[in-house]
Structure 1
Amino acid sequence: MKIKQKIEEIKKQTYVLYLACKKKETPVISKIFAIIVVSYALSPIDLIPDFIPVLGYLDDLLIIPLGIIIAMKLIPIEIIKECEIKADEKLKSDIPEAKIAGRIIISLWILIIIFILYKIFSIIRFNPKYN
């Protein structure tokens, strides 16, 4: 299978997991794991930064596909098949949900960074050792 086809398949499977998370019939544990996998796949921040030679692409080549495989095995096959049909239909058109999900993830990372910076500056400001 060509690399471009494999990437498209991973995108589709990620979207299938996203759709499966929205279904009430999906078991809770499966939803939690699938949410983690989808969030990590869409997140601009990696566990291992890409600028680290060889190891930087390890998550893109191993962690995400492995997470997708495990999540797909945790979700009942009927739900996966139903979501695959919806994903095929939706991927032929524009995916507004993916854009929204991307914005939410970026917003969460920005909020986390702001919170950390706030905590650092409040410690520095109120600590007499730094004044």
Structure 2
Amino acid sequence: MTGKSLSERIGDLGRRLAVEAHTAWLAARDPRVAWFARLLAVAVAAYALSPIDLIPDFIPVLGWIDDLVILPLGLLAVRRLIAAPLWSELHALAETASERPSSRAGMILILLIWAALLAIVYWAVRTSPLH
């Protein structure tokens, strides 16, 4: 069997939804898109990027259903309200943005800075005469 594993397919779906949500965000900011499509695109992109869900993810099965149903339906509605050539243009921009290299070294540097700041705060509290 040469197909992808379930975890690989779920990862691919997540990446596709992320690109589609980014496309919706780009559409919401594009003046060529009608105002009602922009409004819906903002709502869908905000829902996709928000850490708050209608049904919390810690609830088994139901927590994922809203992400697997509401988000794709919202993206489909936004896509139908925007002209196909414009959606293709915005989608290409979103795909290009998703392919940009990320810097692991930069991420590690930022994490080290935060850890150092936390250590300084901890040291300041521990050595404070008020403690």
Shared fold per TM-score greater than 0.5: yes
- Runs of 5+ consecutive residues of structure 1 not aligned to the other structure: 96-131
Q: Deviations over 1:46-97 (max 9, x none)?
A: 11112222211111111111111111111111210110121122111169xx
Q: Which amino acid aligns with 2:38?
A: K
62 and 44 in structure 1: CA distance in 2 versus 1, 3 angstrom threshold: same
Q: Which amino acid aligns with 1:23?
A: D
**Aligned residue number for residue 21 of structure 1:** 28
Deviation at 1:28, TM superposition (A): 0.5
**Following the alignment from structure 2 to structure 1, what is the Cα–Cα distance between the partners of residues 90 and 79?**
11
Look at both structures and tell me which one has the larger radius of gyration over its CA atoms: 2
63 and 75 in structure 1: CA distance in 2 versus 1, 3 angstrom threshold: same
Higher-helix-fraction structure: 1
Say which of 32, 37, 45 aligns to 1:38.
45
**Which is further off, 86-95 or 62-71?**
86-95
Alpha-carbon RMSD: 1.7
**Aligned residue number for residue 61 of structure 2:** 54
**Aligned residue number for residue 118 of structure 1:** none
Q: Percent identity?
A: 35
**Aligned residue number for residue 78 of structure 1:** 85
**Aligned residue number for residue 69 of structure 1:** 76
TM-score w.r.t. the length of structure 1 is 0.67
**Following the alignment from structure 1 to structure 2, what is the Cα–Cα distance between the partners of residues 86 and 62?**
25
Say which of 81, 91, 111 aligns to 2:98.
91
Q: Detail structure 1 runs of 4+ shifted over 4 Å in the superposition.
A: none
> Aligned to 2:57, what secondary structure does the other structure show?
coil
Q: Which amino acid aligns with 2:29?
A: K
**Following the alignment from structure 1 to structure 2, what is the Cα–Cα distance between the partners of residues 49 and 62?**
14
TM-score w.r.t. the length of structure 2 is 0.67
Kindly indicate whether structure 1 or structure 2 has the higher relative contact order, using CA contacts under 8 Å at least 6 residues apart: 1
In the alignment of these two chains, the number of paired residues is 95
